[in-house]
Each structure stands twice: as C-alpha cells, then as structure tokens.
Amino acid sequence: MISIIIPTYNENDHLAAFVQHLFETLGRYHIPSEVIIVDDNSPDGSGETAYYLRKHFPNLRTLHREHRHGSSTAILAGIRAAKGTVIGIMSAKMGYPPAMIPQLLKPIQAGNMDITVASRFVPESALPGYPFWDKWRARCQAWLLRPVTAVRDPMSNGFFFRRTVLDKTVLRGNFPRILPELLVKGHFRAVQEIPFHYHYYPKTHPDSGFLLPSPGFVWHLIQLYKAHFWS
C-alpha cells in the first residue's frame, strides 16, 4: 500500500480541489493507498475542511496538531501514522500535480529506485509563471545543499520513497523541508528525479531564511553537513 502525506497550514483555498484530483488519480490507476492530511491548527479552516472531506473519501485520514511546528515535523507525524510500504509526500497547493504520481511510483515499484523526486531543475521540467526571485532562491537552496546531495532539487515538495529508507534512521525535522534530511541520513541505493511542469501558486507563508540565511537556517545546514561528512 502507498501512504501519501500532505502537511497543511492555511491551505483551504486549494485543499478540497487537490484532494479531489488526488483520489481521481489514485482511482484511475488502481493504486491501493491511504492519504493522511496533517494540519497544524490552520486559522483559515484547513483542518475543518480536511475533516469534512473524510466523509467523501474513506481512505483519507487526518491528524490535527495544536500548534504550528512546520511542515517537516508534520510529515514525520504522518510517517509515524502511515501504514504503507511506500511513502509519498505532496503539497496541497497543486504545484506538484497528482497526475504525476504514477511516474513517481513506477521506478520504485519496478525495483529500480528507492527514492523518486519531482524535480523542477532537470531537463524537460518547466516553471511557467515562476517569479524570478523565487526561482533564484530555489536555485540557491539547491546550491547550498550540493555538498551533501547530488539531487538537483533537494527542496522538492513532491517525492516518494520506500519505507525501508528510514530503517534505523532518526529524522528530526529541524530543516525547513524534510527531503534534504532524508537524502543525507536515509539508507538507499538510487534516486531518480522526474521532470514535470510545476504550477506556480503565490506563497501565503513563504519560507524564511534563504535570501539572507538566518542563524537558525545556517545551524541546521551545518548539522546536515556534519551528518554527511562526519557521521
């Protein structure tokens, strides 16, 4: 079974449509799955919407956290609750379209890959409408992480992996995105980046600490360097 985890905070504008498209894709390709929405007590009612959607989608589960602790720890909470042997992470903003899930799953199910990443920065990918500064920031993020991973888009919000990647691995969720920590600490043989057309949506709560890295960001980045080079 596949477990797809969606962390949410103020995603009410996109959530219902995303979940609808997601289950349409899973049904069309007959993918046995569960979907877990982890909401951080969104003030815009995302948690209530997620709970309501459960009435229409029996394979949808919801986790509600009392405080906002960030998407990385929300994803870890979802992983702990997940039952699947393959875990998928997706953003509710529909920037990573559910229609690409079969492409992400195929290399893993074929036994060729342990992790697949929806990558904005491989040939054949497209970023229509992506603002220059957001694209520049995303490139800078990838550059800062290049010493610890060869993945071109390590800050992707759409990726799948075998649960065994986390065997005997402790992820802390301190980094703004969980994928870099997974790539540094996980146990895997091969990663494949999948091209796609990213659908840009303006960020209501943009990530902080990247144009001018904050002390906290730099500290967490150093921890990833240490885990990669000296652990």
Beta-carbon contacts of residue 155 (< 8 Å; ≥ 6 apart): 138, 141, 142, 145, 176, 177, 179, 180
The mean per-residue pLDDT over the stretch 205-216 comes to 53
The 8 Å CB, 24+ separation contacts for 184-191 are: 184/148, 184/149, 184/224, 184/227, 184/228, 185/227, 185/231, 186/115, 186/161, 188/114, 188/115, 188/161, 188/162, 189/114, 190/112, 190/113, 190/114, 190/115, 191/113, 191/114, 191/115, 191/116, 191/117, 191/151
CA distance 200 to 189: 31
* Predicted pLDDT at 119: 96
pLDDT at 202: 64
What is the span of the domain harbouring residue 105? 2-230
Q: Is the pLDDT of residue 131 over 90?
A: no
Q: Considering just the CA atoms, what is the radius of gyration of the chain in Å?
A: 17
Number of domains comprising the chain: 1
Classify strands 33-39 and 60-64 as parallel, antiparallel or unpaired.
parallel
pTM score? 0.91
What is the model's pLDDT at position 209?
Answer: 42
Q: Between the ranges 38-47, 62-71, 90-99, where is the mean pLDDT highest?
A: 38-47
Strands 191-195 and 86-89: unpaired
The amino acid at 72: S
**Domain containing 113 — which CATH number?**
3.90.550.10
Confidence at residue 210, expressed as pLDDT on a 0 to 100 scale: 45
Q: Which pLDDT score, from 0 to 100, does residue 139 have? A: 87
CB 63 within 8 A of CB 9: no
